[in-house]
Structure 1
Amino acid sequence: MQVLYTASAQATGDGRDGHVRTTDGTVDLDLAIPKEMGGAGGAANPEQLFAAGYAACFHSALRLVARKAKADVSGSVVEAEVGIGPNGSGGFGLAVTLVVDLPAVERAAAEQLVETAHQVCPYSNATRGNIEVALTVRETAAA
């Protein structure tokens, strides 16, 4: 693979109760363990960062495949839900649900676009076979 861009970030402090910063300074955030996991909450966490990245990346892939299919993706939205929990082997794992709104596309076509985007998206390709990823087309799809 020819690398076109490399992002670099550093984590300091106590990991999930620490700080992250990209080397260029565009991301600079305190982190906190969510209350649901016994922490104080009130700051970003790695799952939120992963969800934001996956949603943006998948939306970009979706728009790419939609352009090729000449589909109207105006008003489209991608929401990534990232869950974390014990994996049964002493560690933790992630589960992702991608919820896609394509209000101007008929449901069957929307489902096909989402599935095709899932084959194109770098996050989907990186996680395939490693974590559960569910794809959902919200009921706002055109009738």
Structure 2
Amino acid sequence: MRPTAAAVRPLTTRYTPRHFNGQGVRLSARPRALPPHTRGILTLKDHVYFAKCTAEGSGRKGGLVKSFGDQPVEFKMDMPKVAGGKGEGLNPEQLFGMGYASCFLGSLQLMAARAGKKELGEKAKVHTKVFLGHPENPDTEGFGLRVEICVEGIDDDNIIAAAHNFCAYSRALTEGCEVTVLKV
């Protein structure tokens, strides 16, 4: 099976509301009340789950990450070989990509079921590519991410668009998410 057209076209977050035209997600223009490089933040009125995770040690270069919960997990971290590491552990981009793929798949399955096409969702696969790189803006320090999502097994553009609108990872990246940094 091949990825749909939606999977191979870049997604953009400049406008809303979203619609799907068979060539990838295209967003219709809306009046802008915010300055050009500002966007709102999606906030939560409550929560149904939270994940507690800890990173320690050398961070990306041989550190350790742990997640506590029903099924605690622990991973050794390392930089990829192409980035100067030994490649002997996972990296944050891999973990992010796995989480995004899983969340998007769950969203696809829900949207397929709502559309009366549950069997499509059961056969679907989601592939993610997470790119770490330097921002185009030379005044921005550090790194940025770019994500590609490839949907396999579902050709229905409306289901894919609905899943993208519903997925918590997609929302965090397109609508923003509240982040609080605290000292302990």
Distance 2:87 2:124 in 1: 30
Distance, in Å, in 2 between the alignment partners of 1:129 and 1:84 is 20
Select the residue among 72, 84, 88 that pairs with 2:132.
84
Q: Determine the structure 1 residue equivalent to 2:157.
A: 111
1:19 equivalent in structure 2: 64
Pairing 1:9–2:53 present: yes
Structure 2 distance, partners of 1:80, 1:9, is 22
The match for 1:95 among 125, 146, 166 is 146
> SS of the residue aligned with 1:64?
helix
Bigger fraction of residues in strand:
1
Letter of the 2:64 partner, please give it: H
For residue 101 of structure 2, give the secondary structure of its aligned residue in structure 1.
Answer: helix
Q: May I ask how many residue pairs the two structures share in their alignment?
A: 125
SS class of match (1:114)? helix
Q: Between the two proteins, what is the percent identity of the paired residues? A: 35
Distance 2:131 2:175 in 1: 16
Q: Could you say which residue in structure 1 is the equivalent of 2:84?
A: 38
User: Which segment is superposed worse, 71-80 or 92-101?
Assistant: 71-80
Q: Please, what is the CA RMSD of the aligned residues?
A: 1.5
Q: Give the number of the structure whose alpha-carbon radius of gyration is greater.
A: 2
Distance 1:120 1:31 in 2: 30
Q: Which residue pairs with 2:40 in the alignment?
A: none
1:56 aligns with 2:107: no
2:113 aligned partner: 67
- Please give the TM-score of this superposition, normalised by the length of structure 2: 0.64
SS of 1:20's equivalent in the other structure is strand
Higher relative contact order (CA 8 A, sep 6+): 2
2:21 counterpart residue number: none
Query: How far off is 1:23 after superposition?
Result: 2.5
Q: TM-score when scaled to structure 1? A: 0.82
Structure 2 gap ranges (5+): 1-44, 177-184
Deviations 1:10-58 (A, max 9, x none): 0001110200001346220000001111111121110000000000000
